Amino acid sequence: MASADPPSACEGAYLLFHVETLLPDGVRASLYTVALAYCFIGLSAITSRFFKSMEQIMKHSREVVSINPDTNSPVVKQEKVWNYAIADIALLAFGTSFPQISLATIDAIRNMGQLTAGGLGPGTLVGSAAFDMFPIHAVCVVMPKAGSTKKISDLGVWLVELLWSLWAYIWLYIILEVWTPNVITLWEALLTVLQYGLLLLHTYAQDKRWPYVSIPSVRSDRPEDWVPKEDASVEYDNCDEISEMLPVSSDKDIVDIFSMHSYHNSEYRKVPEKDTKASSTINDVVKNMRADTSWLSIWWQQFVDAFMLENPESRKMDSICLRFTRIFWNLLIAPWKLLFAFVPPYHIAHGWIAFISSLISISGIAYGVTKITDQISCVTGVSPYVIAFTALAAGTSWPDLVASKIAAERQVTADSAIANITCSNSVNIYVGIGVPWLIDTVYNFFVYQEPLYIDNASGLSFSLLVFFATSFGCIIVLVLRRIIIGAELGGPRLWAWITSVYLVILWVVFVVFSSLRVSGII
């Protein structure tokens, strides 16, 4: 007598309550889709706090006292703790890619004990790379004001980041299809992670123009007002919108997104010897007193703001429709704001506590996303891989989109907007895929003495080929814009929109061909 087929993993599966299984699949799919969208709204809510804490970390500076050899007087230099290029990769790109990284890591941990890795994490990360490369570039191109242009000032650093980004996907294809087809070994996973360190080292070497390892290129000078004056910065206590977190100078079009992108000539200031100790001591005492007495009230204000449906600016709006839209939105995100009010203020410990707490919150949302995605796949029959590189990739790439959009709109150069895209794509592979695969390969090596088998490796490899081909189409357009228009972003409005539409079409091509391959049509 033939034995019955083993029960499917989807049979009797539900998200929260068993009663869900009594509902029609169409209703369940709709409810799960709404829940997934609400998770993405939660991601946008925590993104604001996350960026504020990151900005606080990046603007941290230290005083370095030296003696002027001509006058023998002390000179106090305000030096940034974080290097410009390294911060873009280690904090900005890593932080904005953390939703995808945490989702892939959670997917790897829950699959431990199985010899085959799931496709949810890799699919999300490759799809996120395509979303970063095409739609986010498309948004950035049209952000500058009509007719204005913004170009990359340090082509050397961008080229290094771009080469490492492209190599990341070549490397992934090699280990999937060439060396050990459909299998990832322990040393392959380890080399993938170690290349993130090489990326940081090479980028730092390029920024410092180390001989033999850096590309010979000239760094363009930036305007003196690249960094806004301190007295022009805004208060953050009651900011709910991401755009309100930025220091604003007298020129509203010039904003330093993270208060750290400046070169040495704008960082240094001379202080007479007799004023140095007194001014610094008094300022330190005042700052410490304010910090000790205000951060508790700021933390309490976070809970108060979570229940506020209108702020004073909203009440002044003439349009009743806009006011009700704002009230509805605040009501919708009120549960998320209340939950994230427990994240400590970013004023504490230079923002590190809020930064880590925000990452933990993002990980919690990512866990919920993985569970909801499982249910959507079960009730619709759509491959989790397809859901991953479409819906999940777009939803988890929201922080990348916000960061690049703000930088493209308000900074005076295109460096951070484009660097965030290329660096995020590198981080997606070296960390987002490397770390989860390293976890699984280490477990399989010590427990089963077996490598890690990749689910749907051929579909993933095909998506890599499509992404690589379309990426060249994107890069060529950026190069042509630099040659013809003189800048990567902005320019004549018509050509900016033509470029934007072209980049969106490239993304559609990637999604369609990858979906057809996973579905077995091609």
57-114 confidence digits (pLDDT tens): 877 777 777 777 778 888 777 777 777 778 777 877 787 788 888 888 888 888 887 8
DSSP H/E element including 470: helix 457-484
* Residue pLDDT, tens place only, 308-365: 877 676 666 667 787 788 888 888 888 998 998 898 888 888 888 988 898 889 888 8
Alpha helices, DSSP H only, in 174-316? 186-208, 264-267, 273-306, 312-315
DSSP H/E element including 62: strand 61-67
pLDDT at 244: 34
Q: pLDDT tier at 430 (50, 70, 90 boundaries)?
A: very high
The length of the chain in residues reads 522
Euclidean distance between CA atoms 358 and 108, whole angstroms:
21
Where is mean pLDDT largest: 81-95, 220-234, 486-500? 486-500
pLDDT at 459: 82
Q: Which two tokens stand for residue 6?
A: 């083993």
**What pTM was computed for the model?**
0.76
Give residue 188's identity as a one-letter amino acid code: E
pLDDT at 256: 37
Does residue 68 or residue 476 have the better pLDDT? 476
pLDDT at 253: 34
**241 vs 49, 218, 238, 347, CA distance in Å?**
9, 37, 9, 18
In contact, 134 and 174? CB cutoff 8 Å: no
Our CA dihedral for 244, 247, 251, 257, rounded to 10 degrees, sits at: -90
- Give the mean model confidence (pLDDT) for residues 3-23: 67
Euclidean distance between CA atoms 244 and 344, whole angstroms:
19
pLDDT at 269: 39
Q: Tell me what percent of the chain is helix, strand and coil, each rounded to the nearest 5.
A: 70, 5, 25
Three-class secondary structure of residue 255 per DSSP: strand
* Residue pLDDT, tens place only, 256-284: 333 334 333 333 334 444 444 444 444 55
Residue in this structure with the two tokens 């509902």, named with its chain if needed: 23
DSSP state, residue 519: T
Give residue 425's identity as a one-letter amino acid code: N
pLDDT at 435: 93
3-state secondary structure string across 188-209:
HHHHHHHHHHHHHHHHHHHHHC
pLDDT at 284: 53
Euclidean distance between CA atoms 396 and 369, whole angstroms:
10
Three-class secondary structure of residue 386 per DSSP: helix
Residue in this structure with the two tokens 């941290």, named with its chain if needed: 60
Euclidean distance between CA atoms 62 and 59, whole angstroms:
10
Euclidean distance between CA atoms 62 and 77, whole angstroms:
8
- Give the mean model confidence (pLDDT) for residues 462-482: 91
Q: List the Cα angle 233/236/239 in 5-degree steps.
A: 125
Q: What is the DSSP string of 85-123?
A: HHHIIIIIIHHHTHHHHHHHHHHHHHTTT-SEE-SHHHH
Q: Is the per-residue pLDDT at 225 higher than 60?
A: no
Question: Computed from CA positions of residues 224, 230, 233, 238, in that sequence, does the dihedral angle turn out positive or negative?
Answer: positive
**22 vs 11, 25, 28, 377, 379, CA distance in Å?**
12, 9, 9, 17, 12
Max CA-CA distance within the chain?
A: 99
- Give the mean model confidence (pLDDT) for residues 208-232: 59
Euclidean distance between CA atoms 403 and 58, whole angstroms:
14
Q: Do the strands 183-184 and 452-454 form a parallel or antiparallel pair, or are they unpaired?
A: antiparallel
Q: Which of 428, 338, 402 is nearest to 104 (CA)?
A: 428
**What angle in degrees, to the nearest 10, is found between the helix axes of 415-427 and 186-208?**
160
Mean pLDDT of the chain: 78
Helices and strands in the chain: count of H runs, count of E runs? 20, 7
Q: List the Cα angle 419/423/426 in 5-degree steps.
A: 155
Euclidean distance between CA atoms 185 and 79, whole angstroms:
43
The strand pairing partners of 255, in sequence order, are 248
pLDDT at 34: 92
Q: Which of 474, 465, 472 is nearest to 514 (CA)?
A: 465
DSSP H/E element including 77: strand 74-80
Q: What percent of the chain has pLDDT over 70?
A: 81
Three-class secondary structure of residue 287 per DSSP: helix
DSSP state, residue 61: E
* Residue pLDDT, tens place only, 363-405: 888 888 888 888 888 888 888 888 888 888 888 887 788 878 8
Q: pLDDT tier at 496 (50, 70, 90 boundaries)?
A: very high
- Give the mean model confidence (pLDDT) for residues 220-246: 37
In contact, 59 and 355? CB cutoff 8 Å: no
Q: Is the per-residue pLDDT at 139 higher than 90?
A: yes
pLDDT at 81: 73
* Residue pLDDT, tens place only, 280-301: 444 554 455 455 557 788 888 8
Q: Which of 307, 300, 367 is nearest to 331 (CA)?
A: 307
pLDDT at 359: 86
* Residue pLDDT, tens place only, 142-165: 998 877 889 888 888 888 888 999
Q: Do the strands 116-117 and 452-454 form a parallel or antiparallel pair, or are they unpaired?
A: parallel
Q: Which residues, other chains included, contact 132 with Cβ-Cβ below 8 Å and sequence gap of 6+?
A: 397, 400, 421, 424, 425
pLDDT at 318: 66
Q: Which two tokens stand for residue 420?
A: 């965030």
Q: Is the per-residue pLDDT at 181 higher than 80?
A: yes
pLDDT at 40: 87
pLDDT at 268: 38
> Rounded to 5 degrees, what are φ and ψ at 474?
-70, -45
